[in-house]
Every structure is written in structure tokens, then in C-alpha cells.
Amino acid sequence: MGGVESLIMSLYRNIDKSLIQFDLLVENQEWLPDFEEISQSGGKVYQIKPLSKKNPFHYINEIKDFFKNHAGEYDIVHSHTVTRATPVLYYAKKSGISCRISHAHANSFKGNRFVAFWKIILRLNNKLSTHYLAASQKAGSYYFGKDKKPFIVLKNTIDAEKFSFSPTKRRSFRKSLNLERAFVIGHTGRFTYLKNHWKIIDVFYEVNKHLPQTRLLLVGDGPTIDEIKQKAKELGIFDCIIFTGARDDVSDLLQAMDLFLLPSFFEGFCISLLEAQSIGLPCVVSNIIPHEVQLTDLITTFSLDEDDKVWAKAIISHQNHQRSSQNKIISEKGYDTKNNAKWLTDFYLGINNSKS
């Protein structure tokens, strides 16, 4: 589960299911606890094999068969991906679904060797879509700006009450992770290029040299995890790092941290940073973070070109930070999911009614 998946589940939990129901089409062969929650709430989860470079036509045929087998069942298709959206949008259109939403969650294809190719795919997706949403102004401009598509910024939101600081939970989870005496730097996010875990390891190495009691808590899984583990071993700090893997108790793990580190190459918004601020963590982040998510005075930004020692010095300066919840600020500024779920309900119903 990444940020987008967490957003979808948060919206689903808060949406009026007497008016709107979600079915999910996912590239996942494992049955996750969230899928069970959807099933118990009246939704359906359809699983297909992930897109494979070796046999992309198998993926396309699965999408084709899905819409053929479910013709007439859906009023709206809401796509939360770009690189895999084309067959979804195409066969949705072909099956008669007149409302097709593209949702921009990032603001760059940086790091991808096939940037030119994906930009062509993006233009095609825009032609196949009828409505356009974006996590931020920057994400919308990047995805839809060249085609002059009129997009709406839908704020990425969280359950602000869930992400409030609890000293009791903090003590409990630090004890369970054997971190009672440690200064804990944390990060939540999939191990992918854009999250830049290489920088996390380099900065942590510098901090750990000055504060040997420092520990790094990395929450998530993904394609670069083995490479990151190898780098940590080469630097001799592997035993100071906890790799939790994918977890569904992120709010509790954030309680155990003392600081949140986020040196991403790019972010369309960044739900994890919203969660970290809500729960009262000081955050040291790259300066590419959209201004929309910088909601408190907990954030310190640096250029990725800045020396690792400078990042480390800033982190060390926060070791005696007195923590308090910021969830009320998050909610007051409109980033609580309850409000967004109501807006999305009205949006879905509005575009669906407009076609009749």
C-alpha cells in the first residue's frame, strides 16, 4: 500500500455508500486486509496480473475482457495511474462508459528511461479521458497543461483524528521495536526511485557518526529495497536500520519516530508528509515538495544538491524537539478526508447526472 492506495481507502471509508459504491480493479495477486474491508462494505475487488514487459498484451487482454464481462455495470471509471491507464480508458470508452476520470498524483516522469514514450502515453490518456483531477496545481499542470485540459485540484487528505500524537502509543511501540533509548529517524513510502532512499541512507550515515544511538525506521516495500539494504551493509549501518516491510499500522509507527526524513526527487503531493505533520513530527525534506503540503512550521527544506552533512546537522538539531499534535491544523486547513469524501460524492453524482 502506497500513498495513493491509502488515499483511496480513506475516501472509501468516509464516502456515503448509499449514494456511491467503489469496485476496485487492481494489479495485485495477494488478498490484502483492505480488500476484505471493501468486500464487507458492499464493494468488489478484481485482481489482475501486473503489466509485464515480457507480455504486455496479456495485461491488455485482461483489461479488455474485464470491461467486456462487466458491460453496463459502471457509470464512472476513475484512473489513479498514468503508465497503465491507456487500455483502461480505451476499453472503458469502448464499453460505453461516458465518464472517465484521469487523476494526476505525481508531477514528473523523472528517473524513467522512457520519459518521451510516457509523455506520448500521457497525451493519449488525456484524449481518452473526460474529466481531470490532480493532487496539486503542479501535478495538474504537468499532466494536463500541455493539452490545456481543465483540471480540478482534489486535496490529498487523511483521517486527521487517527494521526494525532499519543504518548502512550509512542511508549508502547518504541518498546516493541526496542527503540526506547534511541533517537529515531523515520520514513514511510514505497522503495522506488522517486522516494530517493539512497539519500536517506547517506544522511543517516552522517547522523549516526555523531549520534551512535540513532536508529532508522523504514516503513514500506518496493523494487529498490534490496539495493538499499546492500548500500546500508556496505556503509556498516545495516544493524542500525529497521526495515518493517509493508505495514497497515503506519499511524502507530509514526508515533515511534522522532523525525521524518523525505528527500524525494519529486512528489505530486505527499500524503506521508501530511501524516507526519499531523502527528507532530519535525520533517526534513527536499525543496521540491509542493507548497500545498507544507501546512505547519515543522518542515525544514533542503536542496538535494546540499551536502549530506548539512542535512544531518539539521536533523541533529531536532533531537530534543517537544512534540505535540497538529491534526487540528491539518483539519482546519481542509485536509481531513471527511470533507473530501463529501466533495467527491457530489462530483461523481454531478458528472454522472450531466450525461443524462
Structure confidence by residue, pLDDT tens digits, 213-262: 999 999 999 999 999 999 999 999 999 999 999 888 899 999 999 999 99
- Indicate the class that CATH gives domain 3-157+336-354: alpha beta
The model's confidence at residue 338, banded by pLDDT at 50, 70 and 90, is confident
Can you give the pLDDT at residue 356? 58
How large is the C-alpha radius of gyration of the chain?
21
Domain locations in the chain as residue ranges: 3-157+336-354, 167-332
Can you give the pLDDT at residue 354? 78
Q: Which CATH fold topology does 167-332 show? A: Rossmann fold (3.40.50)
| pLDDT value at 269 more than 80 | no
Can you give the pLDDT at residue 268? 72
Number of Cα atoms under 13 Å in the Cβ half of residue 71: 8
pLDDT in tens, 171-194: 999 999 999 999 999 999 989 998
Q: Give the end-to-end CA distance of the chain in Å, rounded to a whole number.
A: 36
Can you give the pLDDT at residue 31? 81
Measured CA to CA, the distance from residue 124 to residue 229 in angstroms comes to 38
Can you give the pLDDT at residue 1? 61
Sign of CA dihedral 56, 57, 60, 62: negative
Can you give the pLDDT at residue 118? 74
Can you give the pLDDT at residue 163? 93
| pLDDT value at 2 more than 80 | no
| pLDDT value at 300 more than 80 | yes
Poorest-pLDDT segment among 80-84, 115-119, 242-246:
115-119
**Residue whose C-alpha cell is 529495497:** 225
Average pLDDT over residues 274-281: 96
Can you give the pLDDT at residue 113? 64
Contact 160, 331 (CB under 8 A): yes
Interior angle at CA 302, CA 301 and CA 305, nearest 5: 160
Model pTM score: 0.74
Domains 3-157+336-354 and 167-332 alike in fold: yes
pLDDT: which is higher, 252 or 338: 252
Contact 188, 177 (CB under 8 A): no
Q: What is the mean pLDDT of the chain?
A: 91
Number of Cα atoms under 13 Å in the Cβ half of residue 209: 10
The model's confidence at residue 352, banded by pLDDT at 50, 70 and 90, is confident
Contact 79, 100 (CB under 8 A): yes
Measured CA to CA, the distance from residue 68 to residue 281 in angstroms comes to 48
| pLDDT value at 40 more than 90 | yes
pLDDT: which is higher, 51 or 263: 263
Question: Minimal CA–CA distance to 140: which of 128, 155, 162?
Answer: 155
Average pLDDT over residues 9-16: 90
Using DSSP's 3-state secondary structure scheme, residue 146 falls into coil
Number of Cα atoms under 13 Å in the Cβ half of residue 251: 15
Average pLDDT over residues 280-293: 92
The model's confidence at residue 3, banded by pLDDT at 50, 70 and 90, is confident
Measured CA to CA, the distance from residue 121 to residue 125 in angstroms comes to 6
Using DSSP's 3-state secondary structure scheme, residue 91 falls into helix
**Residue whose C-alpha cell is 530534543:** 320
